[in-house]
Chains A and B, each alone.
Chain A
Amino acid sequence: MVAVLFMVSLLVFVVFILIPGGDPAERMAGKNPLPANITNIRKQWGFDQPFYVQYGRMMQKAFTGLAPGSHSEYAVLTSFQNRQNVVHEIKRGLPATFSLCIGAALIWLVFGILVGVISAVTAGRWSDRLITTLALVGISMPVFFLGIVLRYFLAEKPAHPLFPDGEYVPLSSDPAQWAYHLILPWFCLSVLFIGFYGRVLRSNMLDVMNEEYVRTARAKGLTPRRVLQRHVLRNSLIPIVSLFALDFAAVIGGAAILTETVFDLKGVGWYAAQSVGDLDLPPIMGVTLYGSFFIVVFSTLADVFYAYLDPRIRPT
Chain B
Amino acid sequence: MAERLLEVKGLKVRFATEDGVVRAVDGVDFELDRGRVLGIVGESGSGKSVTALTLLGLTRDKNTKFEGEVVYKGQNLLDMPEAKLRDVRGNEIAMIFQDPMTSLNPVYKVGDQIAEAILTHEKVSKRAARQHAVELLRRVGIPNPQQRVNDYPHQFSGGMRQRAMIAMALSCNPDVLIADEPTTALDVTIQAQILELIDALKDDFDSAVILITHDLGVVADVADEVIVMYAGRVVERGSKRGLFYDPQHPYTWGLLGSIPRLDRPKPKKLHSIQGQPPSLINLPQGCKFRPRCPHAFDKCIQEPELENRVSDRGHLDRCWLPVDEKRSVREQTIGGEAQEVA
Query: Is A216 in contact with chain B by the CB < 8 A criterion?
Result: yes
| Contacting residues, chain B, for A223 (C-beta < 8 A) | 86
Query: Is A10 in contact with chain B by the CB < 8 A criterion?
Result: no
Q: Are B154 and A220 in contact (CB under 8 A)?
A: no
Given the contacts A212-B97, A311-B154, A312-B152, A221 and B104 also touching, CB distance less than 8 Å: no
Given the contacts A220-B116, A220-B120, A221-B90, A212 and B107 also touching, CB distance less than 8 Å: no
| Interface residues in A286-316 (C-beta closer than 8 Å to B) | 309-312, 316
Q: Shortest beta-carbon distance, A184 to chain B, in Å?
A: 39
| Contacting residues, chain B, for A221 (C-beta < 8 A) | 86-91, 117, 120-121
Q: Are B58 and A215 in contact (CB under 8 A)?
A: yes
| Contacting residues, chain A, for B270 (C-beta < 8 A) | none
Question: Quick one: CB contact mask for A176-214 with B, threshold 8 Å, 1 for yes?
Answer: 000000000000000000000000000000000001110
Query: Is A15 in contact with chain B by the CB < 8 A criterion?
Result: no
Query: Is A19 in contact with chain B by the CB < 8 A criterion?
Result: no
Query: A231 to B153, alpha carbons, bound, how many Å?
Result: 14
Query: Is A234 in contact with chain B by the CB < 8 A criterion?
Result: yes
Query: Is A217 in contact with chain B by the CB < 8 A criterion?
Result: yes
Question: Quick one: CB contact mask for B250-288 with A, threshold 8 Å, 1 for yes?
Answer: 000000000000000000000000000000000000000
| Contacting residues, chain A, for B152 (C-beta < 8 A) | 311-312
Q: Are A212 and B102 in contact (CB under 8 A)?
A: yes
Query: A223 to B89, alpha carbons, bound, how many Å?
Result: 11
| Contacting residues, chain A, for B165 (C-beta < 8 A) | 216
Query: A234 to B155, alpha carbons, bound, how many Å?
Result: 20
Query: Is A222 in contact with chain B by the CB < 8 A criterion?
Result: yes
Q: Shortest beta-carbon distance, B151 to chain A, in Å?
A: 9
Given the contacts A221-B90, A221-B91, A221-B117, A216 and B107 also touching, CB distance less than 8 Å: no
Q: Shortest beta-carbon distance, B158 to chain A, in Å?
A: 14
Q: Which of A211, A213, A218, A238 is B58 in contact with, Cβ under 8 Å?
A: A218
Q: Are A220 and B117 in contact (CB under 8 A)?
A: yes
Q: Shortest beta-carbon distance, B306 to chain A, in Å?
A: 29
Q: Nearest 9 A-B pairs (CB), nearest first?
A: A221-B90, A221-B89, A220-B90, A213-B105, A311-B152, A212-B102, A220-B117, A219-B95, A212-B103
Besides A212-B97, A216-B103, A316-B155, 18 more A-B contacts (Cβ < 8 Å) are A213-B102, A213-B104, A216-B104, A218-B89, A219-B56, A219-B97, A220-B120, A221-B87, A221-B88, A221-B121, A222-B90, A231-B105, A235-B105, A235-B107, A309-B107, A311-B154, A312-B152, A312-B154
Interface of B toward A, CB cutoff 8 Å: 56, 58, 86-91, 94-95, 97, 99, 102-108, 116-117, 120-121, 152, 154-155, 165, 168
